């Protein structure tokens, strides 16, 4: 008497992230939980979970009879950790997709109820906190040559600009109503024309003293 077999697998992915109350920072971790269940009527062997952003996925727990097969009554749980990068914070979110795969007794590799090779339906988006901020420190250097101030002498200014937030900043500019030409910046270490959170950009400018100033 032949019995009908309907192999199927499903995955549910959840994320847990705590920025510690100080907005998102590079190096903080997102913890993921992958719950895999057997949605068919046959046990599944060679069950695996993969995620393109997570190199190491631990587990499973839940193999109650220790036979290394996902039985129809079992729920297997895997875990993984992703470390946040500056690119993630600049994007304001982390989006990734988990894949669950299992093999039926007849050798068929199954997923969900579609009959395709893998279940890639489980996409998770984790929002990240962004706090853009910029700061400028301006210093001046002036030497009157020892003969008191004269018209035409120069004041040299240095403008140091830093990123005080947690996201990269584009289209950075420095203006000063007295200085027509401001040169720079130096300090764009990666050459991407963005003021990164780890960079310090320096601009310079010269002002020519007038009689009104003296």
User: Is the pLDDT higher at 117 or at 7?
Assistant: 7
For tokens 């996409």, the residue is: 123
How far is 37 from 151, CA to CA, in rounded Å?
Answer: 83
Calculate the average pLDDT of the chain.
91
| pLDDT tens per residue, range 128-164 | 999 999 999 999 999 999 999 999 999 999 999 999 9
pLDDT higher than threshold 60 for residue 53: yes
Asked whether the beta carbons of 116 and 87 are under 8 A apart, the reply is no
How far is 194 from 171, CA to CA, in rounded Å?
Answer: 7
Q: What is the pLDDT of residue 22?
A: 86
> Which whole number is the average pLDDT over 12-39?
92
Q: Reading across the β-sheet that carries 200-208, which strands appear in turn?
A: 134-142, 154-163, 200-208, 182-186
Number of Cβ within 10 Å of residue 46's Cβ equals 12
Task: Provide the whole-model pTM.
Answer: 0.80
> Which whole number is the average pLDDT over 19-25?
89
Q: What is the pLDDT of residue 35?
A: 93
At residue 199 the predicted structure's pLDDT band, cuts being 50, 70 and 90, is: very high
> Which whole number is the average pLDDT over 27-40?
94
Q: Name which of 93, 88, 167, 86 is nearest 127 in CA terms.
A: 93
Q: Name which of 35, 34, 119 is nearest 81 in CA terms.
A: 34
| pLDDT tens per residue, range 97-129 | 888 999 999 999 976 533 333 344 457 788 999
Q: Name which of 165, 169, 178 is nearest 210 in CA terms.
A: 178
CA distances 117 to 9, 47, 52, 182, 200, Å, are: 11, 12, 17, 60, 50
| pLDDT tens per residue, range 61-95 | 999 999 999 999 999 999 999 999 999 999 999 98
In sequence order, what are the residues at sequence separation of 6 or more whose Cβ sits closer than 8 angstroms to the Cβ of residue 107?
Answer: none
Asked whether the beta carbons of 57 and 80 are under 8 A apart, the reply is yes
pLDDT higher than threshold 70 for residue 171: yes
Q: What is the pLDDT of residue 113?
A: 36
């Amino acid at each position: 008497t032949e019995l009908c077999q309907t192999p199927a697998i499903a995955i549910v992915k959840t994320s847990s992230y705590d920025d510690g109350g100080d907005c998102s920072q590079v190096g903080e971790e997102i913890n993921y939980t992958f719950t895999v269940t057997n949605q068919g009527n046959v046990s599944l062997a060679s069950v695996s979970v993969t995620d393109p952003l997570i190199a190491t996925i631990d587990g499973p727990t839940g193999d109650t009879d220790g036979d290394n097969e996902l039985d129809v009554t079992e729920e297997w749980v895997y875990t993984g950790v992703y470390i946040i990068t500056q690119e993630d914070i600049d994007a304001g979110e982390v989006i990734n997709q988990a894949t669950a795969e299992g093999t039926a007794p007849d050798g068929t590799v199954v997923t969900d109820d579609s009959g395709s090779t893998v279940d890639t339906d489980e996409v998770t988006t984790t929002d990240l906190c962004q706090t853009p901020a910029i700061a400028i420190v301006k210093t001046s250097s002036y030497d009157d040559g020892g003969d008191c101030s004269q018209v035409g002498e120069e004041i040299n200014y240095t403008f140091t600009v830093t990123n005080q937030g947690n996201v990269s900043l584009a289209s950075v500019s420095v203006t000063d109503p007295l200085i027509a030409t401001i040169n720079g910046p130096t300090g764009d270490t990666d050459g991407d024309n963005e003021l990164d959170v780890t960079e310090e950009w320096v601009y310079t400018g010269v002002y020519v003293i007038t009689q009104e100033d003296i």
